[in-house]
Structure 1
Amino acid sequence: MKKLENLVATLLAVYAIILTLCIAIYAIFKLLEVDITLATNLLLWSAAIFAPIAVLMTYTSWREQKRAEVLAQIAMNLREKINQEVGEIRYLLNFIDNIKNIKSGSINTLDQNVEKIVKIKKCLSKDLGILSLELDKDNNCFLKMIDLLNLIENVLRIRGFGIADEKLINTCLSINYTSLYGELVEQLEKIALYRFEDD
């Protein structure tokens, strides 16, 4: 609502400035005894100048509003998807926590878990990437979630070759998923309510 009020106020201010200039020029013409029809045409000209300026400013405002609507829809869809996958991601992190103890004979379990993380990444990555690019925030939770999903997949794929890369496992487990999930949901709710930055 504030943006609409600001736009109306700006449009009125622009028109007032144009009208004031035209009236000043009209007064100058009157003092110089210039033809009155020229002065009248000048006032009409002010309205003609104002129309495209108003259209341009309104279009810019509409474009920002449309962008906000699209991002809000993506955020609502992503929140729903994240809530559906939260249990699976927790399961995979617990699995990785115990991955050193998994015997190489459990390759079916590893394969199933690789399929799970690939499915989760396919479901979430596009929307996470769009929001990360559009909101352009450094070190944001969208990029952190993409990194976590990539780390989980890498740990599982490498373990499928019989290697338990402790450094990679520790990096994956060092991410506080509960905190990241909470931050992500909070950001998605803000976007869904058209609040892209902290007020």
Structure 2
Amino acid sequence: MQNKKNLSITLIIIYLALLAVSIAIYALLQLYVKDIDRGTATNLMIWSATLFPSIALIYTFNFWREQKGSEVLSKLSEDVFFRLTNLAKIHNQIYEDHRKILLGKLLNNIDMSESDNSKELFKLNDIELNKICENIHLIGKYTKDKDLENAIKNMHYALSVYAARRFDVYIGMKVIEETETSSHSIAFDTNDKNEYLKPHSQLEISKSN
């Protein structure tokens, strides 16, 4: 409501300014032009009235575009927030899925492979991440915020690292199988059941073809 009131006041000021210009031009003509008639004043008034709609239209359009831009940014930010919330839930589900596999298989010397449920969860995870990146990119493009641009670059880098190593997510796990047709099989060192208790710096991730 306040924005509409400000727009109305601005348009009134613009019209009064055009009217003042017309009066000023007429006053100058009276000083320097002999035998000027009242028809000139009328023409100047008509000129100002004709010019006003074009200026008002341009100003109103820019005002509308700015308002719509703010609404779009608000919608994008809201969408990012809810997608991040959903992403956190997906991560918790992935964690629970992997934890059950660890408890059910790992300590029985059974290699841990990625479950079908985990694969579906990771697909949902990737969809949410891609959409979040798209929205943040649009926000950064509109606002031209340098800090946001740097954050986007860091996010893309983190995503590339995540995509490359997302199967090596547990401290102490070792990749024991990797082929072109099957997913990673990962497990703790079966010779040392307490290996997962070691600090991360003491653990090594090994791969065998």
Counterpart AA for 1:64: E
Find the counterpart in structure 2 of residue 85 from structure 1: 87
Which of 48, 51, 54 aligns to 1:49? It is: 51
Q: CA deviation at 1:29?
A: 3.1
Structure 2 gaps of 5+ residues are 99-105, 169-174, 179-183, 187-199, 202-209
Paired position in structure 2 for 1:22? 22
Mark the structure with the bigger radius of gyration: 2
Q: Which has the higher helix share?
A: 1
Q: TM-score, normalised by structure 2?
A: 0.58
Which residue, out of 64, 67, 90, partners 1:65? 67
Residue 112 of structure 2, aligned match among 93, 103, 106: 106
Structure 1 stretches of 5 or more lacking a match?
A: 96-101, 171-199
- Closer, same or farther: CA 139–113 of 1 in aligned 2, 3 Å: farther
Cα distance between partner residues in 2 of 1:108 and 1:93: 12
Higher strand proportion:
2
| Paired amino acid for 1:108 | E
In the alignment, the residues of structure 2 paired with residue 137 and residue 125 of structure 1 have an alpha-carbon distance, to the nearest angstrom, of 20
TM-score, normalisation: structure 1: 0.60
Q: Distance in 2 between matches of 1:104 and 1:43?
A: 91
- 8 Å contact from structure 2 (residues 112, 185) kept in 1: no
State the secondary structure of the residue aligned to 2:146: coil
Relative contact order (C-alpha < 8 Å, sep 6+): which is higher?
Answer: 1
Structure 1 residue matching 2:113: 3-state secondary structure: helix
CA RMSD in angstroms comes to: 3.9
Distance 1:40 1:24, change over 3 A: same
Give the % identical residues: 25
- Give the AA of the match of 1:48: T
Report the counterpart of residue 127 of structure 2 in structure 1: 122
Further displaced range: 150-159 or 63-72: 150-159
